[in-house]
Amino acid sequence: MQREVSYGEAMRRKYPEPIVIAISRDSQGKYNPITLGWFMPTSHEPPMVAISVAFARHSYGAIRGSGCFVVSFPSEHMKEETLFFGTKSGRELDKLAAMKTKIQQAKMIDSVLLEDAVVNLECILKAELTTGDHAIFVGQVVAAHVNADAALRRLYTIDSHYGMSAVRPV
Amino acid sequence: MQREVSYGEAMRRKYPEPIVIAISRDSQGKYNPITLGWFMPTSHEPPMVAISVAFARHSYGAIRGSGCFVVSFPSEHMKEETLFFGTKSGRELDKLAAMKTKIQQAKMIDSVLLEDAVVNLECILKAELTTGDHAIFVGQVVAAHVNADAALRRLYTIDSHYGMSAVRPV
The answer to the question of residue A167 being in a domain is: no
**Quick one: which of A127, A58, A69 has its CA closest to A93?**
A58
Q: Does A56 touch chain B (CB under 8 A)?
A: no
Q: Does B37 touch chain A (CB under 8 A)?
A: yes
pLDDT at A17: 98
pLDDT at A104: 97
The answer to the question of residue A160 being in a domain is: no
Q: Which of residues 143-162 of B touch A (CB under 8 A)?
A: 143-148, 153-154, 156, 158
The answer to the question of residue A10 being in a domain is: no
Burial pattern B10-31, b for ≥16 Cβ within 10 A else e, equals bbebbbbbbbbbbbbbbeeeeb
pLDDT at A111: 98
Q: Does A119 touch chain B (CB under 8 A)?
A: yes
The answer to the question of residue B4 being in a domain is: no
Q: Phi and psi of B33, rounded to 5°?
A: -95, 145
pLDDT at A98: 98
Count other C-beta atoms under 10 Å from residue A82's C-beta: 25
The answer to the question of residue B147 being in a domain is: yes
Segments in chain A forming alpha helices (H): 7-11, 58-66, 79-87, 95-98
Give every residue of chain A whose pLDDT is below 70, as ranges: none
What is the helix (H) or strand (E) element at residue B10, kind and residue range?
helix B7-11
The secondary structure of residue A88, as a DSSP letter, is S
What ipTM was assigned to the predicted interfaces of this complex?
0.96
Cα–Cα distance between A34 and A130 in angstroms, integer?
19
**A132: nearest CA partner in chain B:** B43
Q: How many domains is chain B built from?
A: 1
CB burial class (10 A; 0-12, 13-18, 19+) of residue B8? exposed
pLDDT at A124: 98
Q: Enumerate the residues of chain A whose CB falls inside 8 A of the CB of residue B3.
A: 145-146, 148
The answer to the question of residue B2 being in a domain is: no
CATH number at residue A57: 2.30.110.10
Cα–Cα distance between A123 and A48 in angstroms, integer?
8
How would you classify the pairing of strands A39-43 and A48-54? antiparallel
Q: What are the per-10-residue average pLDDT scores of chain B (170 residues)?
A: 97 98 97 98 98 97 98 98 97 96 98 98 98 97 97 97 96
Tell if the CB–CB gap between B131 and A126 is shorter than 8 Å: yes
Tell if the CB–CB gap between B117 and A145 is shorter than 8 Å: no
The answer to the question of residue A170 being in a domain is: no
Q: Number of CB pairs < 8 Å for A and B? A: 218
> Domain containing A118: what range?
17-150
What is the value of pTM for the model shown? Answer: 0.97
Residue type, position A86, single letter: G
pLDDT at A108: 98
CB burial class (10 A; 0-12, 13-18, 19+) of residue B126? middle
The answer to the question of residue B13 being in a domain is: no
**Quick one: which of B41, B38, B150, B131 has its CA closest to A131?**
B41
Distance from the Cα of A26 to chain B's closest Cα (Å) equals: 22
Pick among B1, B2, B44, B128 to test the A interface (most A CBs inside 10 A): B2
